[in-house]
Chains A and B, each alone.
Chain A
Amino acid sequence: MHISEGILSPAVLIGGAALTAAGVAVGMKNLDQKEIPTMGILSAAFFVSTLIHVPAGPVSVHLILNGLVGLILGWKAFPAILVGLALQALLFQFGGMTTLGVNTLNMALPAVVCHYIFGNALKPGTGRTVIISSAFGAGFCSVLMSGIMVGFSLYLTGEAFLPAAKLMVAAHLPVMFIEGILTAACVLFLRKVRPEILEGDHVS
């Protein structure tokens, strides 16, 4: 999912950075003090999850966990993912500093979209089946959308859209299922031991 440096055109890089800056601004607005630790934990989880690889035929892909981040944080996923990606670029050399904006956008925007689609299920009082299916949907769809967005970024730079997007989505198909299951497990776990984390965002 991390787009390397030197692939995208400057216009795409600048556009991605601008949109990411806007997303971060929205995320940081009205930031409640209580949410900072949650953001930190999810940012750390996102940071580490990238090292867990999923063997998928010819290529090997890794977990992204942006669905979980988005589901819980909403717009605050932007700063959380930005921090995680910046550290991945600095410490692991995944992606790069110039592509940080585009990469953040590609991973955080699907997270926010998933928050609006599936976030309602996190409200207290929803049934177990609804929660599981919504969390699975968030994990699955966020990776799917990220793959499409990476394909779109390549398309804007001049590559053919369909092959690039198809390859990204096909390679990440196992990851989508694993992320879905993992997101559902995390949400169930959090609901049991610490429901405040899940409800926090809907209160503020």
Chain B
Amino acid sequence: MFRENSHDSIAFGLNYNIFYFIFIMLWLLFLPDSASAHKVTIFAWVDGDTVFTQSKFSGGKRVKNAPVLVYDSKDVLLLDGKTDKKGMFSFKIPQKTSLKIVLKASMAHMAVWKIPVEALGGTEPENAAKTDGPQNALKPPSGSMDIETHEQVSGSSTVALGKREIEEIIDASLDKKLAPITEILADSIHRGPGITEIMGGIGYILGLVGVALYFANRKRKS
């Protein structure tokens, strides 16, 4: 209690030191491109019949040589592989179920990305068309006697083929057009914490200190 006054007199000095400390911290923070290994992310997208994945540490550093495991909806391991130097890993769609892609980076870091069936569904109609194709192709021999029907059938099969082709063309051009957007999406997902989160956290802690002091003060008064 007798030191209360000396506390008051250096209170300003203390405040200065706190701000000094926080400023040094923030300065250190923005000096390097703040990449750090406490969080990894994996982002996966479907392009045609291939699933591409991109893995990064928070801050943008690529995860090299890390195992990637692909599970189906029932947690059965379908395939696994390793990321390359750019943190990329791609594989052909093994089956049309929702996929769970797990990245296991070193030092107890793990990230999960799920691909729903709908995302893979883009290839499903194509497959349906493919299975339709042979059926149509099988028809002509049965009706090969009748030239007219044969022509009709072959005509319808070209229409079916046309549909499939159109779908393929649309898929290809969509993939091409969406590629930059997927990249932007991948980058935005890998972005580290910003100034809002940092300031929010510091503010939160200061608020907690305030609450704690309030209750401590009330206890002392009563």
Using a CB-CB cutoff of 8 Å, which residues 41-61 of chain B contact chain A?
57-59, 61
Q: Is residue B127 within 8 Å, beta carbon to beta carbon, of the partner chain?
A: no
Stretch of A14-22, A41-49, A108-116, A132-140 lying at the B interface: A41-49
Q: Is residue A88 within 8 Å, beta carbon to beta carbon, of the partner chain?
A: yes
Q: Mark A51-87, 1 if CB is under 8 A from B, else 0.
A: 1110100111110000000000000000000011001
Provide the main secondary structure of the chain A interface.
helix
Complex CA distance for A196 and B13, rounded to whole angstroms? 13
A36-B202 contact in complex given A7-B108, A61-B37, C-beta closer than 8 Å: no
A5-B110 contact in complex given A33-B217, A49-B25, A61-B36, C-beta closer than 8 Å: yes
A60-B61 contact in complex given A48-B202, A153-B108, C-beta closer than 8 Å: yes
A41 near B18: Cβ-Cβ < 8 Å? yes
Task: List 14 contacting pairs A-B, 8 Å CB cutoff, sorted by A.
Answer: A4-B39, A31-B216, A33-B216, A45-B21, A48-B25, A48-B29, A49-B25, A51-B34, A53-B34, A60-B57, A83-B208, A87-B205, A92-B58, A167-B106
Binding site for A on B (CB under 8 A): 7, 10, 13-14, 17-18, 21-22, 25-26, 28-29, 32, 34-40, 57-59, 61, 64, 106-112, 192-193, 197-198, 200-202, 204-206, 208-209, 212-213, 216-217, 220
| Inter-chain pairs besides A48-B29, A52-B25, A53-B35, 16 sampled, C-beta below 8 Å | A1-B107, A2-B38, A4-B39, A36-B216, A37-B209, A40-B209, A48-B198, A52-B29, A52-B32, A53-B32, A59-B37, A59-B107, A62-B38, A94-B39, A150-B107, A193-B17
